[in-house]
Structure 1
Amino acid sequence: MITNISIVSVFVKDIDESKKFYTDVLGFEEKDDITLGDGYRWCTVVHPSQPELNVSLAVPGPPHPPELVEAMKRAQANGTMHGLGLNVDSCQRTYEELSARGVEFLQPPSERPYGVEAVCRDNSGNWLVLVEPREYTPSDFS
């Protein structure tokens, strides 16, 4: 029986630079950084409030087929890769803090039926959705 989600992957352009971004800018902590056989690098970060969920920072490559790797690299270059959804306690305050640290926002904090949402990019072009959640019902969307 499945008990929880333990690993999610975010494809990045450069593991070292992305590890710095996720730790220094977003407040994650490094968990693993191991080079395995054939030069494969296993690098994970975790958020201090959710250490059981590992975020694997991986450069597109094998075992993915070359055409998929190229498509992922094009999406990164265009800034259109999907990344993570992150809950925040104050979307406006987090927006201001991250903007001051140079994070590029695609959408400032905006009211939504499910809370306040802002959208930014990490340093590899992945979208990060920041949500200050609130209770909602399906009728809130009509």
Structure 2
Amino acid sequence: MRIHVTSVFVHDQDEALRFYTEVLGFEKKHDVPLGGENRWLTVVSPEDPDGTELLLEPDKHPAVKPYTTALVEDGIPAASFAVDDVHAEFDRLSKLGVRFIQEPLDMGPVATAVLDDTCGNLIQIMHTS
């Protein structure tokens, strides 16, 4: 068993696609119309195009807003992405205007930082040494 697709809830799929591809560097994998304005919209890492897909899931269900609001208010990331160097990625993304709610924090063999994805989520980036 392996993870094939995981998701983050987003308030605007086009805005999310722009952020996740143009800013974070993921690549669009699937963009399938589902009727109305919703799509099955996934991105993948260019380093693993056949790997786990991230579904940019519309946040239309009534349970989503209270859930995502609570996560953000408590500072809990909706997802965690591995990077080679948290400090370098923090610098790169900061220059692109990404807002971080937690600057790089070294915790022994792990370093993390937390960013705002502009789509209703906090995202953690991390690396292990």
In structure 2, the CA distance between the partners of 1:81 and 1:108, relative to structure 1 (3 Å rule), is closer
Unaligned runs of 5+ in 2: none
In structure 2, the CA distance between the partners of 1:76 and 1:112, relative to structure 1 (3 Å rule), is closer
Larger Rg: 1
Structure 2 match to 1:32? 30
Structure 1 match to 2:118? 123
Structure 2 match to 1:114? 109
Aligned length: 128
- Greater percentage in helix: 1
Unaligned runs of 5+ in 1: 135-142
**Structure 2 counterparts to residues 1-142 of structure 1, below 5 A:** 2=1, 4-37=2-35, 40-51=38-49, 52-61=51-60, 64=61, 66=62, 68-72=63-67, 74-75=69-70, 82-134=77-129
* CA deviation after TM superposition for structure 1 residue 79, in Å: 8.6
- RCO comparison, higher one (Cα < 8 Å, 6+): 2
Q: State the AA in 2 paired with 1:43.
A: L
* CA deviation after TM superposition for structure 1 residue 113, in Å: 2.4
Q: For 1:58 and 1:13, locate their aligned partners in 2 and report how far apart those are by CA, in whole Å.
A: 8
* CA deviation after TM superposition for structure 1 residue 50, in Å: 2.3
Q: For 2:103 and 2:9, locate their aligned partners in 1 and report how far apart those are by CA, in whole Å.
A: 24
